[in-house]
Amino acid sequence: MPQVDARPVAVLVSGRGTNLQALLDAAAAPTYPARIVRVISSRPGVAALDRARAAGVEGVVVHHRAFADRPAFEDALHAALVESGAELVVLAGFMRLLTDGFVGRWRDRLINIHPSLLPAFKGLDTHARALDAGVRLHGCTVHFVRPAMDAGPIIAQAAVPVGPDDTPDVLAARVLGAEHRLLPAVVRWWAEGRLSVHAERVRVAGAAAPDGVLWGPVVG
Ligand code: GAR
């Protein structure tokens, strides 16, 4: 059972929902300081909704195609979020661009996970583009959302090595493993009141820079 005083979080999804699953699993622990109060999908029939149901969390569909325009879609999204009582909104594989109006209403209460070390490789197909660029380290980023795509103050990043024989799928799987650790950690920090934004940079109270360097490739 979640903590009674655990802070309420809503998760926005559009697809398979493995990052949602990581949050649901984390929130099942009695000491986790956040609880998932509602999952909202922009599309019906996605696996993420099954995951919510299996965890006993309310899943609702706010189908973008059911609305005349983006503001109408976002008004419905906003209403569903307010009704849920969520204090934080997590975009976990939510594949709709959000307008300035929506983002402004949830400023510093809206976070996104993106599968690259931002600001590199914004947008789609990040793993194939990282391989094309020949980078040695790739990874994922959790950031507060600002109006531009995949932009906003960075909260945390996790790096993974790029292997010489990686395909986009192999690399994606390695990054996804890192995502599943990073996102629940960031939501925990938020719930513990550790995150603050100063001049568009995030401070994580109690965090220290890890010692040493992370480098790749390793030879010999
Ligand atoms: C994740 O890799 C997430 O980082 C990415 O979509 C995937 C969703 O997977 N998000 C973006 O690309 C946003 N720009 P999931 O549905 O299994 O969590």
Q: Render pLDDT for 136-185 as a digit per residue (tens, 0 to 9).
A: 999 999 999 999 999 999 999 999 999 999 999 999 999 999 999 999 99
Tell me the pTM.
0.97
pLDDT tens by residue, 17-35: 999 999 999 999 999 999 9
Task: Report the catalytic residues.
Answer: 114
CA distance 215 to 28: 35
Q: d(Cα 32, Cα 159) in Å, to the nearest integer?
A: 24
CB 6 within 8 A of CB 34: yes
Q: Are 81 and 91 in contact (CB under 8 A)?
A: no
Q: Domains of the chain (ranges plus CATH)? A: 1-106 (3.40.50.170), 114-220 (3.40.50.170)
In angstroms, rounded to a whole number, what is the distance separating the alpha carbons of residues 76 and 28?
Answer: 28
CA of 169 to the centre of ligand 1 (A): 13
- Ligand 1 centroid distance, CA of 91 (Å): 9
Q: Which atom of ligand 1 is nearest to the CA of 48?
A: 16
